[in-house]
Amino acid sequence: MLARITADDLARDVSGAEALISRHKENKMEIDARVKDFTRFTQKGKALIADKNFMASEVHIYLSYFSVLTLVSW
């Protein structure tokens, strides 16, 4: 997904622009479809941290990494 979003494809004509818009819409739909999963993942991770799970420090690292990835790719 990240590679598709950051690709340097620039439209050179109307049909190329329409194709890019179509791909953009597909990517947006894919992101929107996964928002619930991302939210659930983050909430469960925060709950583990709040409950002082023995893996809380590692969960925190993964949540931080995940939040950076989502900011960069969205």
Chain segment 9-68, per-residue pLDDT in tens? 777 789 988 988 998 899 889 888 888 888 898 999 999 999 999 999 999 999 998 887
CA distances from 58 to 21, 63, 64 (A): 39, 9, 10
Whether residue 64 lies inside any domain: the answer is yes
Give me the residue label for tokens 């619930």.
36
Whether residue 59 lies inside any domain: the answer is yes
* DSSP secondary structure code for residue 52 in this structure: T
Whether residue 27 lies inside any domain: the answer is yes
Whether residue 3 lies inside any domain: the answer is no
Count: domains in the chain: 1
- pTM, two decimal places: 0.58
Determine the structural domain holding residue 38 and report its residue range: 10-73
Whether residue 21 lies inside any domain: the answer is yes
Do 41 and 66 touch, CB atoms closer than 8 A?
A: yes
Whether residue 5 lies inside any domain: the answer is no
Distance between CA atoms of residues 45 and 28, nearest Å? 25
At residue 3, what is the residue type? A
Whether residue 69 lies inside any domain: the answer is yes
